[in-house]
Structure 1
């Protein structure tokens, strides 16, 4: 397995992670399930690609334009749908995602069903750039979650009526969570377009949205660490199983079902890794190893 192959999978993991982080804020911390984030990725991908291809705008500025474009669209969608309760919002986002794909299928400015090709890839979505963008995205997300705004979002997830009673503007914070998640998804779409060098509307089907939502649930709702681990595992797993081509998606689905049955709260279950917890775990492991070595020495002496 060559380094180019491994780095390619790592880049794809980082691209997926951007959308998953946004979904983690929306679903894991605010309690709104979305099956339309592939639509936001598509908007970001096409806008960022158009900026670099047709107007010669630098890569990082194009990424930001793609993300902001997706965020602006989310504000319109949120205005229309965020008053819907329960499953109705989920269905509305699903409809948005499919409508976005069908619109792009028929807009010749963006290449229609053929999509866009010859998107610049040289020096754009590199592993270094993806890692830097991921680190910034995680830092910003954690800062939001630890702020008063993040605590208000968690309150809405736990009990919306009680949150409204104590004076939290529920609609405002739902809109904020949706906008930030769409911004992340738009940037992710721009990264994907400049990594592959081409995009087509068919790449942003409902299956993509479902896959991203599964990753959030798999990692653990309300856990940024879980989102990171879940993204890496579920991006690598299909590639590891590539030798079993005919069965790899079956094994992938079985693995997801197994974790949902045995650990319905997800891998992390709302918990987070911290430097203190990592050091504590490392100390426990070192003490365990020392104890085992000590026992072996005593057995040898006896």
Structure 2
């Protein structure tokens, strides 16, 4: 049962206000085409970063194949709308479920591995997906799928962002989430306490893949075109950088990092190759001075913020 406390009401009002603010700016022509593209990429990156943080940050499994799950969601959704002429909602759900199924299939055998071995196995999965897409003529092969209907808009994107964050937060604050965190902290101790570590690792992996599939479907239906080259190892690495940059185990950090990195890339886009050097230097500086990430494992709390505001506005002492 949902508690409509002051905190929940303020959060809900803020979420609704931001949605209508951006919608109004779009309607008023205050957001340029370039800004809109970056806004959509920002939202897609938030979904990807939050979903990967569930696997890497909260469950402690180093996975490098997240772009593979994104590709599954993108291609399945594009096939349903472009070739089979199905509704976008059905395509979105189907793409997400297909990615989740792929996460389950790859997760069940590989999540018994640990550390570098798991990273290599998931990296291999991502490359298998990309290689398969390169050689299937039905989905365009290396040329990809062109002419995908543009069905992703701000409303769809915002609903999926809120849905992703809401599900992830509720999972982490449940007994399932505490089991995932226990596995991250000490897997042997978790097993000793009776936690089915394989079950919870596969659960986190499949759920993270599900939301990566959502991001892939949204991506495909905004940019008209998807190609295997879009979903390389470097895409998986970019998502991992966002998670590490924001803080392992912090959903707030993933959101801030995804937004920050997307905006930095957009701001430096005119600098060609030099922007990658500047981008890399910024990341190195952050990792040197803030190795735990921007937020560490800390989450933004409205209660804490209101208390600080109340203390700051209290009567001054003589």
TM-score normalized by the length of structure 2: 0.87
Distance 1:115 1:241 in 2: 28
Q: Is the Cα contact below 8 Å between 2:66 and 2:212 reproduced in 1?
A: yes
Q: In the TM superposition, what is the alpha-carbon distance from 1:285 to its structure 2 partner?
A: 6.3
CA-to-partner distance for each residue in 1:124-160, whole Å, 9 max, x for gaps?
2112221111011111110000000000000000000
Go from structure 1 to structure 2 and tell me whether the alpha carbon gap of 1:281 and 1:5 turns closer, same or farther (over 3 Å shift): farther
TM-score normalized by the length of structure 1: 0.91
**1:197 maps to 2:219:** no
Alignment match of 2:255 (pick from 228, 231, 240): 228
Moved more, 4-13 or 143-152: 4-13
Partner of 2:62: 33
Distance 2:139 2:262 in 1: 28
**1:213 maps to 2:235:** no
Alignment match of 2:144 (pick from 115, 120, 131): 115
Give the match's secondary structure for 1:221. Answer: coil
Q: How much is the aligned-residue C-alpha RMSD, in angstroms? A: 1.6
Q: In the TM superposition, what is the alpha-carbon distance from 1:179 to its structure 2 partner?
A: 0.2
Distance 2:294 2:302 in 1: 19
The size of the alignment, in residue pairs, is 287
The 4+ residue runs of structure 1 with deviation greater than 6 A are none
Q: In the TM superposition, what is the alpha-carbon distance from 1:2 to its structure 2 partner?
A: 4.8
Moved more, 199-208 or 125-134: 125-134
Q: Is the Cα contact below 8 Å between 1:43 and 1:69 reproduced in 2?
A: yes
CA-to-partner distance for each residue in 1:9-64, whole Å, 9 max, x for gaps?
11101111111111110001000011111111111000000000111111122011
**1:70 maps to 2:99:** yes
**1:103 maps to 2:132:** yes
Partner of 2:170: 143
Structure with larger Rg: 1
